[in-house]
Structure 1
Amino acid sequence: MLRALICASALVLPLSAFAFTAGDLNRLCMKTDVASRSACAAYIEGAADGVFNTIDAIGGTTGPRVGQYFCLPPDARTAQLTDAVRRYIADNPNIIGYNASTAVSLGLGKTFPCKPGS
């Protein structure tokens, strides 16, 4: 019986997974406690780093290329990244169902677009 329960749990677990959406990220970032603000900033920095590394793996990040969403200045601060993403979500409420990392890419792309030759 225990073996059957474990097998059934293993099959149900993947069905209960959910995506972290732009709406979820926005709600997290709107909170004022230190833990939530830190988690918001960490998610945005991590997503930005993940997108950057993915682009690097498929062809480089030394300038605007197909698929490059944003070009961060070397002196970009965490607060600037967070503000850019929050502003983008607020200005585009239709994206609240998007994956949160997509919202990060779009928000950073709006604020930090790649310039030709950069």
Structure 2
Amino acid sequence: MLRALICASALAIPLSAAAFTASDLNRLCTKTDIASRSACAAYIEGAADGVFNTIDAIGGTTGPRVGQYFCLPADARSQQLTDAVRRYIAENPNVAGYNASTAISLGLGKAFPCKTGS
């Protein structure tokens, strides 16, 4: 019986998993409690770091390169990243259904584009 319950649980997990969308991220980021604000900022920073490291692994991110979505200044603050992403989502309602990390990449690319020839 326990084995059947474990198997049923394992099969149910993938069916209930859904992508975290730009709309979900925006809802999280509009909440005013400290936990939600921290989670919003951490998600954006983590996704930005993940995108940066993925691109680095497939071709590098030192200076503007093909495929590099954004170039963050060394002194960029968490709130600047959050504001940039939220502004992008608000100005581009068509991205609401995109994966949140895609919207983050696009938003940061708009706010912090790489300068050519750097």
Letter in 2 for 1:44: I
Q: Partner of 1:84 in structure 2?
A: 84
In the alignment, structure 1 segments of 5+ residues that lack a partner are: none
Runs of 4+ in 1 over 2 A off after TM superposition: none
Shift of 1:2: 2.6
Matched residues in 2 for 1:22 and 1:69: separation? 17
Q: TM-score w.r.t. structure 1 length?
A: 0.96
- Let me know the Cα RMSD of the aligned residues: 0.9
Which runs of structure 2 are paired with 1:15-94 in the superposition (5 Å)?
A: 15-94=15-94
For residues 39 and 5 of structure 2, the distance between their equivalents in structure 1, rounded to whole angstroms, comes to 35
Q: How many residues in Structure 1 have an aligned counterpart in Structure 2?
A: 118
Letter of the 2:46 partner, please give it: G
Q: What TM-score, normalized to structure 2?
A: 0.96
> Deviation per CA, 1:72-104, whole angstroms, max 9, x where unpaired?
011111111000000000000111110000010
Report the identity percentage: 87
- Distance in 1 (CA, whole Å) between partners of 2:39 and 2:8 is 33
Give distance in 1, aligned partners of 2:6 and 2:15. 15
